[in-house]
Amino acid sequence: MINRRIAYEAKRKLEFAPDFGEPVSLLTELADSLSMEYCNHPETYKNDKDRVIWLEYPYFCFDCDTFFEEYGVLLASIEKDIHVKVYGMADKLELGELAAEFTDEKNIRYRKRNSSGSDFESIRSLCIEIEAKSTEQYEALWELFSHMDYRQDYAAVNRKKWKAMGEDWTEKDPDTYFAYLQLREEQGEFFLNILTLEQKKELWTVYLEEGVSPVEFEYLNDAIGRDWEINIFEWNLALQMAVSQAGISVLYEKDDFRILDRQGRRIWMDYRSSAAAEKLFLKLLFPAVPRTN
């Protein structure tokens, strides 16, 4: 732990005691607002041992007074429940820290800290440091910020990890495999487009290894039928990766095909199946009936 000197301190009295809501929601608002100003995603890092998450905006320069004016109340409100600080390079090689906290319901104290104790006007390569109060909160926050995109309406997170934190949040559908947390009003973009390749692979793996067809495949099949814009190549690639991991073999024969598990036993599938994942599996691997000679 590095104890820095106080370089600047100021107090601000609010006319009314603010009531912003849940700290996690406020933290999301802070990160989302900075991403919009920066027009890019933050780089995300973590330290499992100390339960710390960093959101870095490389080369993003911010005037300290402006930051306190725009985000000071928000920062202090988050600090009530989640320990959060803002860092950046203050001058040459010296790290500067910005912090805000309520001293009572209407009064906020702003502080700047660094090693020298000399005041600084701005910071660059701004970074938000989040110190979670529990392992459950840490894992849920990492899920959120490592999958959040300021251009998207939803963030897809691990449902079990998110629920373990006990945070209430508006979701797209409570029955999907992943929890799709709504970040803003839906603008019409197909929500499954936010999934990473690894998340898509995980959905296929659930089907291939556990025999469960996640609800996402029902949405995906419906979207394909409506000709919505979807990266089908990525879903196909994710399927190939999952097939390889599961040890499944797909054999194309003269006028037929066979699907075998890792023990060489045949897996029977049918286009008429009620399982959406099974239908899509067959559509992607066998989009047309093989030609016979």
Beta bridge partners of 12: 108
Question: Does the CA dihedral 132-133-134-140 come out positive or negative?
Answer: negative
Beta bridge partners of 96: 88
pLDDT digits (tens, 9 = 90+) for 82-114: 999 999 999 878 999 999 999 998 899 999 999
Task: Judge contact between 88 and 125, C-beta under 8 A.
Answer: yes
Give the per-residue pLDDT at 288.
Answer: 61
- The pTM (predicted TM-score) of the whole model is 0.87
Radius of gyration, CA atoms only, the chain: 24
Task: Judge contact between 86 and 99, C-beta under 8 A.
Answer: yes
Give the per-residue pLDDT at 289.
Answer: 53
Give the per-residue pLDDT at 17.
Answer: 76
CA 119 to chain centre: 35
Backbone angles phi, psi at 128, to 5 degrees: -95, 125
CB atoms within 10 A of CB 25: 16
Give the per-residue pLDDT at 252.
Answer: 80
Task: Judge contact between 19 and 88, C-beta under 8 A.
Answer: no
Task: Judge contact between 123 and 62, C-beta under 8 A.
Answer: yes
Round to whole Å and give the CA distance between 261 and 267: 7
Task: Judge contact between 128 and 99, C-beta under 8 A.
Answer: no
H helices of 89-158, in order, are: 135-147
Round to whole Å and give the CA distance between 141 and 147: 10
Beta bridge partners of 63: 122
Give the per-residue pLDDT at 174.
Answer: 94
Give the per-residue pLDDT at 177.
Answer: 97
pLDDT averaged per 10 residues, the chain (length 293): 84 82 89 92 95 94 94 92 92 91 92 93 94 93 93 94 86 96 86 96 95 95 92 95 91 78 82 87 75 50
Round to whole Å and give the CA distance between 23 and 237: 38
